[in-house]
Each structure stands twice: as C-alpha cells, then as structure tokens.
C-alpha cells in the first residue's frame, strides 16, 4: 500500500518550495500559470488530497492534542508545554509535540503531519520564518477544515482563533517607568529584529514609557542582536562604549547575561552603574552573577490556559458558524527583582 | 464511529493501574485470577486489540519517527532531540515527540498512542519510574510487533535493541583520576538514587578510580540528592561541614551549581579549596560563577547516531529473524575544563 502523497513530496519532486505547491493548489495568483498547471497535474496524478483523513474523521475524537513550538532548547517554550500537558492530562488528553525549528517549511510539514487525523486540535507558537514571511496559509487551511487552533506568544492578527499572549507592551512600559523612578535616564533596549511580534510590542512599551516621561527617544540606545547567529562581544562593547547608559531592558535573558558579562569586563558595576532587566526568568537568570532581575512570563499558566481554550473548543460539538467567537487571553508578566537592579 | 479503546480506558473503567491491565491481558501470573478475568472480559466486550493498526500497516511507511523523552525542560534531552531531528530530516523523516514526565504510566500511554500507525519506529530514554519499577513489558510488546526501537542514555539490559550510551563509568574514572593527579585526595560524589543506570555507572567509575589509586572508599563522601523534590541548602551545608572534601564530581550540572553556591557562602574558595566537575555541560555550566568544568555528553551526536541506527532498521525490509543483530554505540564524554578546576 502506497502512503499518502504530501505537499513535501510534490515540492521535492517538482523542485519548488512547499509554499509554492500550497499556493498553486489553491490556484493563487502569486504563482505563474506553468507552475500551477504542473503542480495541479502532479497532485491529480498521485491523487493528492489535503488532509483527507482529517475531514472524514471530523467527528471521531482522538483525545490527542498537537503542539508545535519553534524551538525545544528554550526555557519559555518548554514551560508552556508543561502547562499544556498538565491541563490536558487532567482532562484525559495526550499531547504530541513537533518542533518547527524556526522554519516555515517545517511548520507546514508538521501541521500537515498532525492534521492527518492524529489530533483533535492544535496549540502553537509561530516560527521566526513564518513571522518574517508573513504567510499563514497553512493555518488558514487547518482552521477552514474545522480543526480548532490556539496560538500563544508569537501570534498574528491575520488568523481568527483563540490566543494567549503576554502583556508585552504594558510590562515593558512598567519596567522602564521603574528605571526612571529610581533615577535612571539613559535607558537602553537590547532586542531582536522587529518581525517578532513580541519584540515589536516590547519596543512599543519602551518608547511609550520614555515619551510618557518626556525623555526624547535616542535610536542609538537600541541594540539589535542576532537571534540565531553567534553574538560577537565587540558588538556589545561598541554599543556600551559609544553610549551613555545607566539601565538596560533586554528582550530575553540570554541577551541580558551576555551584556552583563561584557560590561562587567569593562569595569562597569551592576547595579550601581547600570541596572539590567531581562525577559524570560529561566534558570540562567537565577544562576547568573549578579542574579538577573527578570520578567516572569508565566509559561506554565499560558500553557494551561491555551489547553483549556482548545479543549473547550474541541468539546463544544455543534457550533453554528455564526456563533463562533474567539478570545485573546492576556497574561500579566511579573517583574522578579534580584541583584541586577536597585530596589 | 467510536474510537479505539486503549489500555488507559480499561484501567480507568476498572479502577486498576495500566500496568495491571497490560499484565492481565498477557495472562501474567503476577495478577490475581479475578482481576485477570475482569480485565479480559472487558477487553473482549469492547473489542480491545493491542495496537491493531500498527500490525496491519506494518509494510506502510509513515516516514515519521516517534521520540519519547522523560523531561522536556532538560538540556541534555533537548540536545539529543535536536540531533535526532537533524539526521531524520536529512533522510526525509519527520519527528514527533511525547514526554513521559518521568512517569511509567505516561510512558506506556505515549508508546501506545504512537504505535497506532503514526510512526515507523521509536527512539526513547526511560522514565525514572520505569527504571525504578524495572517493568519493561510495554517495550517488549512494541518490539514483538516488529516496530524498531533504539534506546539512548537511560537504557536497560532487559531489552534487546540498538542502544546509544555515554561511557559513563570510564569518563567518571578519568575525572576522578585527574583530581588525584592534581593532588586532591578527599573526593566526593554528589549523585541521585541508584535506580538510574547512568548514576550507577558513574558511581562505579568513581569507586574504581579511588581503588585504582589505593584510596579507601568513604561512604560518607557520597551525597545522594533528590532528583525531583526541592533540594534543601542545609543538606549540602551539613555534608560539606561534616566531611573534609577537596574535589567533587556531580552527576549533573544543577547539583554542581547548587553545591558551588552553598560552599561559596560557607567561605570556601573554588577551585583553590575545592574543585568541581559536573555532568551535562549545558548553559548553566557556561554562565555559572565560577564557570563550571563539565563533562560534555554530546547529546547532538547521540541523537544523530540513534536516528541513523533506527532508520537503518526501518529501511532494511527483509530481515530474517535469525539475522537480527543489535549493537550498542558508546559515545565518549569530554571533560571541558573551565574555572572550577585547577588546570
């Protein structure tokens, strides 16, 4: 018995991207006629059906939940997973995880794999590449099939579904506000590229707090570090050498700890000369020296709520399409003060 | 259409453990006749078949690999997963993970879930509870069905299958040997309970190095810390107060970092007064203060080799049962020397 042909098989066979195949099958205008015809003919020949099993089994519960996370070596995502699992298990559901590795193609492949009837619904956080490409057709396909979906942390306004997010803007605002109240004025932000919706929100909070306090924005005080590539110490040294800085908000704990190491080597004292706060509140924050004040994102709670939202949707059987209402739950971050800030 | 009944359903319905159901269905002598009859009758009534889909689809490849790990918030397991994924993806396989959470029941449920035809083979590391119970019937069942299985790190001699392990005994021996050569004589071991096969091997290496150097074993210099429950600082303080110790081998980096914090508070200098080495070599080792010398377990490589072994087995179609040969690949740990030891 031949196994079902997948988007990936078609892409490999015709030497085009998975995204092209997906669009060609939907007759998208973005794809040239030649390619569309080739893809459609191939799909027909090999009897490709998008997630055909899922459709036929729509009313058969598997009691499994599929989770897709961008990275497995990452404290925040793994704690969210634990929260999902805790709630799901308590309701008799098992949890299967796939990792997108921050890749758009792997996210699409994983969704296709799980949507073949193995699971009753999805919980996921978008890959970096998906956010950068701004292409969510695979999510639209799954929701169109009636498979419930909950997005957490890295979400998009393009998709109508339940969402769980952190109050990224508000908590960043309040941390910068706190820096200012403790007498700091030259406040830096260390961040990633802005295609991450969470980094964007955190920057909005940073800018808004400065504005609120009549401090003019100085773009030189914003350092953008690579998310995946190796960070060079010189990038950090140059930044702190060429700017007068007395407080730093970092969008993750790794950036904070890298910066703390570099400035300590430069003879700068933490927190006397510079205060540091980072997002994440993982093990690194607790074991850093000095211990890093950090923003707890309550991954466990986020996961529990995401699972609760999903299971509610799965178990509400007869929803009139008009009645479908989606909600976004906002979790409040908490600043855990340790040794890297003045209390 | 009613979904397939599972071991878990039977266990819940009859209010017995999953392990009891599994044994009762195999007519095990460990289970009383009443229970056996009840379980067997129930299973017959609801038409329970052990992984019936898997059997019928034996010759249909899914191109998916199932991975079961004990813990997801754990650097070593997540790096092994990355290695598995890297190799599997390069061969056109996708990877699905389930987490046993160190629980025997969850390990059994996850195996049952994945063995229902979703995957071509398993890669797994045993849960703490499975090692403690010493019950591997779920693994035997899967291998009897002809589903290839590779065990890594936490393995057992009871199961015939391919395995990937670290040279735990030898690398522990060589670290202790190194302590002795640098003039240390009062060497401690900080470990977990011995039902973990890796902790057992590490202790064997520790004892063997002492013996090799004519240093009598002092059981007071072995501290057993809880693996899951909260560790109390006083346990560590008492240990270092009541023993003369100048070098410590810890079976994981968290134990090492906890101990380093406590002894530093006691005014002891690292590495001048006491040297520390820990297994794992995760982020904590690199960011600890002083930076921890640690044993790299090469999780990535372990994962790649496990995936390679599994895919070879999956793709060798016509194996005569007599020809079935299993191998154990031993990865050599590497001591990465940092600031917590004298070079």
* pTM for this entry: 0.78
Q: How far apart are CA B226 and CA B224, in angstroms?
A: 7
Least confident of A38-47, A155-164, B330-339: A38-47
Structure tokens at A196: 């991450």
Work out the average pLDDT over B114-138.
Answer: 90
Question: How far does Cα A261 stand from its chain's mean position?
Answer: 27
Work out the average pLDDT over A145-150.
Answer: 90
**Which chain A residues contact residue B82 at CB under 8 A?**
72-73
Do residues B64 and B98 make contact, with C-beta atoms less than 8 angstroms apart?
Answer: no
Least confident of A3-12, A141-150, B75-84, B169-178: A3-12
- Looking at chain B, the number of H-run helices and the number of E-run strands are 14, 12
Q: What is the pLDDT of residue A185?
A: 93
Is A128 an 8 Å CB contact of chain B?
no
Cα dist from A130 to A63, A114, A127, A137, whole Å: 28, 18, 5, 10
Do residues A191 and A223 make contact, with C-beta atoms less than 8 angstroms apart?
Answer: yes
Q: How far apart are CA A84 and CA B102, in angstroms?
A: 17
Instruction: Give A21-60 pLDDT, tens digit per residue.
Output: 888 887 788 888 888 888 888 887 777 766 544 433 444 6
Phi/psi at B115 (nearest 5 deg)? -75, 5
Cα dist from B152 to B125, B156, B163, B202, B307, whole Å: 5, 10, 6, 16, 10
Question: Of A343 and A213, which is predicted with more confidence?
Answer: A213
Longest dimension (CA), chain A: 72
Is A46 an 8 Å CB contact of chain B?
no
Assign A247 to helix, strand or coil.
Answer: strand
- DSSP H or E segment with residue B133: helix B128-133
Residue linked to tokens 């089994």:
A57
Q: What is the pLDDT of residue B33?
A: 87
Question: Of B14 and A204, which is predicted with more confidence?
Answer: A204
Instruction: Give B4-29 pLDDT, tens digit per residue.
Output: 677 778 888 888 888 888 888 877 88
Q: Is the pLDDT of residue B53 over 60?
A: no
Q: Is the pLDDT of residue A249 over 70?
A: yes
Q: How far apart are CA A238 and CA B228, in angstroms?
A: 43
**Which chain B residues contact residue A60 at CB under 8 A?**
1, 3
Q: Provide DSSP, A212-252.
A: HTTPPP-GGGEEE--SSSPPPHHHHHHHHHSS--SEEEESS
Q: What is the pLDDT of residue B60?
A: 63
A181's CB contacts (< 8 A; 6+ apart) are: none
Work out the average pLDDT over A111-117.
Answer: 83
Residue of B66, B73, B83, B108 best to disrupt the A interface, most CBs of A under 10 A? B73
Assign A140 to helix, strand or coil.
Answer: helix
Least confident of A249-263, B201-215, B276-290: B276-290
DSSP β-bridge partners for residue A337: none
Share of chain A above pLDDT 90, in %: 62
Q: Return the sign of the alpha-carbon dihedral for residues A167, A169, A172, A176.
A: negative
Do residues A135 and A19 make contact, with C-beta atoms less than 8 angstroms apart?
Answer: yes
Q: Which of A 232-261 lie inside 8 A of B, CB atoms?
A: 257
Assign B263 to helix, strand or coil.
Answer: helix
Average pLDDT, chain A: 88
Work out the average pLDDT over B258-265.
Answer: 92
Is B140 an 8 Å CB contact of chain A?
no
ipTM metric: 0.72
Q: How far apart are CA A23 and CA B13, in angstroms?
A: 47
Do residues A164 and A48 make contact, with C-beta atoms less than 8 angstroms apart?
Answer: no
Share of chain A above pLDDT 70, in %: 92
User: Is the backbone of residue A214 left (phi > 0), alpha (psi -120 to 50) or beta?
Assistant: left
**B136 vs chain A: nearest CA distance in angstroms?**
21
Domains of chain A (ranges, CATH numbers): 7-45 (no CATH), 64-165+299-333 (3.40.50.2300), 168-297 (3.40.50.2300)
Share of chain B above pLDDT 90, in %: 62
Q: What is the pLDDT of residue A14?
A: 86
Average pLDDT, chain B: 88
Residue linked to tokens 């990465």:
B336
Is A78 an 8 Å CB contact of chain B?
yes
Q: Do B82 and A64 touch (CB under 8 A)?
A: no
DSSP β-bridge partners for residue B59: none
Complete edge-to-edge strand list for the sheet that includes strand B247-250:
B222-224, B187-191, B247-250, B275-280, B293-296, B334-336
């Amino acid at each position: 018995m031949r196994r079902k042909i997948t988007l990936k098989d078609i892409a490999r066979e015709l030497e085009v991207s998975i995204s092209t195949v997906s669009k060609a099958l939907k007759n998208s205008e973005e794809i040239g006629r030649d390619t569309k015809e080739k893809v459609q003919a191939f799909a027909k020949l090999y009897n490709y059906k998008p997630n055909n099993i899922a459709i036929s089994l729509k009313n058969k519960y598997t009691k499994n939940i599929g989770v897709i996370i961008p990275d497995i070596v990452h404290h925040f995502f793994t704690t969210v997973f634990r929260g999902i699992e805790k709630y799901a298990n308590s309701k008799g559901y098992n949890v299967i995880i796939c990792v997108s590795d921050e890749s758009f193609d792997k996210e699409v492949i994983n969704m296709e794999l799980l949507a073949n009837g193995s699971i009753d619904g999805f919980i996921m956080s978008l890959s970096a590449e998906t956010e950068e490409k701004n292409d969510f057709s695979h999510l639209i396909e799954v929701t169109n099939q009636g498979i419930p979906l909950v997005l957490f942390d890295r979400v998009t306004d393009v998709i109508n579904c339940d969402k769980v997010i952190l109050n990224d803007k508000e908590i960043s605002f309040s941390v910068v506000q706190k820096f200012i109240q403790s007498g700091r004025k030259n406040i830096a932000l260390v961040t990633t590229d802005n295609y991450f919706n969470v980094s964007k929100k955190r920057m909005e909070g940073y800018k808004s707090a400065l504005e609120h306090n009549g401090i003019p924005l100085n773009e030189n005080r914003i350092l953008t570090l690579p998310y995946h590539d190796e960070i060079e110490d010189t990038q950090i040294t140059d930044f702190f050498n060429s700017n007068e800085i007395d407080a730093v908000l970092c969008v993750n704990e790794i950036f904070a700890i890298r910066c703390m190491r570099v400035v300590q080597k430069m003879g700068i004292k933490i927190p006397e000369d510079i205060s540091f706060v980072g997002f994440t509140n993982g093990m690194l924050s607790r074991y850093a020296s000095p211990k890093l004040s950090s923003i707890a994102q309550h991954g466990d709670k986020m996961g529990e709520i995401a699972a609760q939202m999903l299971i509610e949707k799965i178990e509400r059987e007869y929803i009139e399409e008009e009645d479908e209402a989606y909600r976004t739950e906002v979790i409040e971050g908490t600043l855990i003060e340790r040794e890297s800030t003045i209390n």
